[in-house]
Chain A
């Protein structure tokens, strides 16, 4: 297990992406699966900054990677507002262009990109998002 704490700002996204890509590569994931992990983690970190903290530089994002042969687990922890993923509506996938409105596709993408996604919010200790990706 390896943990790095990053400042909760958009500038951290590239470093977080490099950190998880390196771990996913060590786990033996292929190119497309590594990209899937990077995208899911990026979307999750943006959700933390935008929604849990409500802006940049409010709090940190703690990122832990657990590398096993053919499998990576990424754990993101923050101390922002809790949220219930079940209450996030699914994006409408067949909207005509002129009607489509900027809306969060992040959570939907995270679920599609990763094999296992688990969210926990504990009073006093913040939010914990655990995501797992196996070699395809």
Chain B
């Protein structure tokens, strides 16, 4: 899995590709923590190229969402979540913790 981050004026955009599982999720966690540790709590996670996410990956996103939501207008927004990943997220009731948008520009503009 590859993770990249880009700091924009209003938010940070994180992009990952491939599998997010117990082996790779620490890399995603590190990238997200670097943003929140820097005092920035408006994050867009572009999941267009993520083709697998286990519950370990979701917990990383949930912990980040908890941190972001403590701040006014702070949020972790998910972009382009593949149908099967979203279905499994909804199955365990975790889908409701996230705003999911299908367009990256729109997600960035929502902050």
Contacts and interface: CB of A to CB of B under 8 A. Distances in A.
A136 interface: no
Interface in B72-111: 83-85, 87-88, 91-94, 97
A31 B84 contact: yes
Contact of A13 (B23, B59, B84, B94): B23
A2 interface: no
A35 B23 contact: no
Given A97-B97, A102-B63, A38 B92 contact: no
B30 interface: no
A87 interface: no
A61 to B, nearest CB: 13
Q: Tell me the interface secondary structure of chain B in the complex.
A: helix
Contacts of B58: 105
Interface string A8-51: 00110110010000000000000110011011001100100100
Contacts of B84: 31-32, 35-36
A128 B94 CA distance: 29
A68 interface: no
Contacts, number: 71
A108 interface: yes
A64 B59 CA distance: 29
Interface in B20-37: 21-23
B22 A112 contact: no
Nearest to B25: A10
A93 interface: yes
A108 B69 CA distance: 27
B15 interface: no
A10 B21 CA distance: 8
A32 B87 contact: yes
Given A104-B55, A105-B94, 19 more contacts: A10-B21, A10-B22, A13-B19, A13-B54, A14-B19, A14-B21, A17-B19, A32-B87, A35-B84, A36-B84, A46-B21, A98-B69, A100-B62, A100-B66, A102-B62, A102-B63, A105-B55, A105-B58, A106-B55
18 contacts: A10-B22, A14-B21, A17-B21, A31-B84, A46-B21, A46-B22, A49-B22, A93-B93, A95-B93, A97-B65, A97-B66, A100-B66, A102-B62, A104-B55, A105-B92, A108-B92, A109-B88, A112-B91
